[in-house]
Chains A and B, each alone.
Chain A
């Protein structure tokens, strides 16, 4: 499956770069299945892109590409395993995208976040707090390695189990477990650093 995902992601990016999209003709049942996948898993797919460091628009583009891959590979996706397939493709696509556009992504991300913070100002204070928390989360995740970010996002945020993560990332379950443990330790260490930094800032002010 890893080869399928990589080939699909490469094909999609190649087709996107050429500006040509060739979707197969879907039957009614396939269209219904794809629509069902869209309704059920679009949010998760979009969120994975966000947590992998993409902006909101990039995450939407990333999710669309993941669903385009799913539309081409609909015949090989097992019933009931659509979520693992979509999130696995989304993680791969986001990693590739972020690697390719890292410098531009950071710049856009900062501008986008500032814009979104400004957009959210009229909302309740709780939403602002949540937004600030998401900013801190994204900041910590972006400072982590990709392999840690993948398992942490899929496990902690999207709620996949370790066997599902292992299947989505095409890695052994033991590897997924060890990666997750190290990712959690790494995340907590970075979070402590953020806490100390914020405390120093408050003391300074």
Chain B
């Protein structure tokens, strides 16, 4: 419906607007109101005091309007705050959820980080290994990798059913009987990690090519079947191997790698395992075999620094 406006407001310049304005401007005589007041019995003093009432009325209405505006503004502010809080909660929830997912993913990667970092430094010389031994021990024993691995393994022993768990339990029960590992447990804080039995494998019986190929295959398979339990076990195995190597027990370190490779396989950290193996082989003086592993490893994707060192190793041993 079209809104109506008075002529004198909508069309003040037209004749009808001027007529209406003229009609609105007409006023009675000055004494008319006083005469009406006298007829109504209103005294002059009351009429004079009415001006005060009149003057107060607009302020009262203004105060009322101000209070109404204040109430409206307050309710509007409360509504706005409520909306903001709701939006903030939603955004906060999304951020927290995203952060939790990120932290969880990071924590899944974290157990392997020190070991990977250590492995990624490349093959170290026996002298370096001896020098870094005191640093490696706390790194492997006191880091939360061990705690995470312990928690994962204990959870796995409790939750996981099937032949694998049974096999792990059996291996864990056999652990104290392994003579080579007793010395490891002596300088590392006691771990309830099931350590695979270290077989006495000769160098001739091992086929490096087959191992690396199976590693590549398992690496691709591991990307599909990534799990914290697997990562923790591999990290623990690599830490043990590096620790043994740092203690000068290269044969035991190699046995640790071979045993774990044969029993479980390095599915998540195959490259790191190969690097540790190369280090151990270099320590043992088997440079040609180390170079063979290096060439195989160079076929896969590696960081530039690792690749450079492995290339040097492969060239020198060719």
- A34/B26 contact (C-beta < 8 A), A63-B36, A136-B19, A188-B16 known: no
CA–CA, A50 and B37, complex, Å: 20
Q: Mark B23-55, 1 if CB is under 8 A from A, else 0.
A: 111111100110111011111001101110110
Report A-chain residues with C-beta under 8 Å of the C-beta of B49. 32, 35
Asked whether B24 lies within 8 Å of A47 as measured between CB atoms, the reply is yes
Least CB separation from B24: chain A residue: A157
Q: Are A64 and B7 in contact, with the CB atoms below 8 A?
A: no
Give, as a whole number of angstroms, the nearest-CB distance from B15 to chain A: 6
In the bound complex, what is the Cα–Cα distance between A130 and B36 (angstroms)?
A: 26
Contacts of A140 in B (CB 8 A): 19
Evaluate contact between B25 and A130: CB separation under 8 angstroms. yes
Contacting pair B54 A40 (CB below 8 A): yes
Asked, given contacts A26-B41, A36-B54, A156-B6, whether A133 binds B32 with beta carbons under 8 Å apart, the answer is: no
| Complex: A161 Cα to B88 Cα, angstroms | 45
Given contacts A35-B37, A36-B53, A47-B27, 19 further A-B contacts (CB under 8 A): A32-B49, A32-B53, A38-B37, A39-B51, A39-B54, A63-B28, A64-B35, A64-B39, A130-B25, A133-B18, A133-B22, A133-B23, A134-B26, A153-B23, A156-B20, A158-B24, A159-B24, A177-B1, A177-B4
A137 & B39 in contact (Cβ 8 Å cutoff): no
Residues of A within 8 A of B40 (CB): 23, 34, 38, 64, 67-68, 71
Residues on A facing B (Cβ under 8 Å):
21, 23, 26, 28, 31-36, 38-40, 42-43, 46-47, 50-51, 56, 59-60, 63-64, 67-68, 71, 130-131, 133-134, 136-138, 140, 153, 155-159, 162, 177, 180-181, 184, 187-188, 191, 195
Bound CA span A156–B6, Å: 5
Residue of B nearest to A174 (CB): B1
Residue of A nearest to B9 (CB): A159
Give Cα distance in the complex from A67 to B41, angstroms.
11
B57 within 8 A of A: yes
- A134-B36 CB under 8 A given contacts A34-B42, A177-B4: no
| CB-based contact B50/A42 at 8 Å | no
* Closest chain B residue to A136, Cβ basis: B19
Distance of A39 Cα from B50 Cα, bound (Å):
7
Question: What is the bound-complex CA distance between A42 and B74, given in angstroms?
Answer: 39
- Distance in Å: Cβ of B36 to nearest Cβ of chain A: 5
What separation, in Å, do the CA atoms of A151 and B215 have in the docked complex? 98
Q: Is the CB of B47 within 8 A of A56?
A: no
B8: CB under 8 A from chain A? yes
Nearest CB in chain A: distance from B245 CB, A = 95
Given A36-B50, A191-B16, check contact A47 B6 (CB 8 Å).
no
Contact indicator B8/A156 (Cβ below 8 Å): yes
A150 smallest CB distance to B (angstroms): 14
Out of B19, B29, B37, name the residue touching A133 (CB < 8 Å). Answer: B19
Q: Render B184-198 as a binary contact track against A, CB cut-off 8 A, 1 for contact.
A: 000000000000000
A126 nearest CB across to chain B (Å): 10
Whole-angstrom distance between the alpha carbons of A21 and B38 in the complex?
Answer: 13
Bound-state Cα–Cα, A56 to B26, Å:
10
A36 and B136 CA atoms in complex are apart in Å by: 97
User: Which residues of A are found within 8 Å of B20, using beta-carbon distances?
Assistant: 137, 156-157
Q: In the complex, what residues of B have CB within 8 A of residue A195's CB?
A: 15
- Among A38, A51, A133, contact of B36 (Cβ-Cβ < 8 Å): A38
Indicate if the CB atoms of B23 and A137 lie closer than 8 Å. yes
State in angstroms the CA–CA spacing of A26 and B42 once bound together. Answer: 9
**Given A38-B37, A56-B29, is A130 in contact with B22 using a C-beta cutoff of 8 Å?**
yes
- Bound CA span A43–B25, Å: 10
A–B Cβ pairs within 8 angstroms, 26 of them: A21-B39, A23-B41, A28-B46, A34-B40, A35-B37, A35-B47, A35-B50, A36-B50, A38-B33, A39-B50, A40-B54, A46-B32, A50-B23, A56-B29, A64-B39, A68-B40, A133-B18, A134-B23, A137-B22, A155-B6, A156-B7, A156-B23, A159-B24, A187-B16, A191-B15, A195-B15
Residue of B nearest to A132 (CB): B22
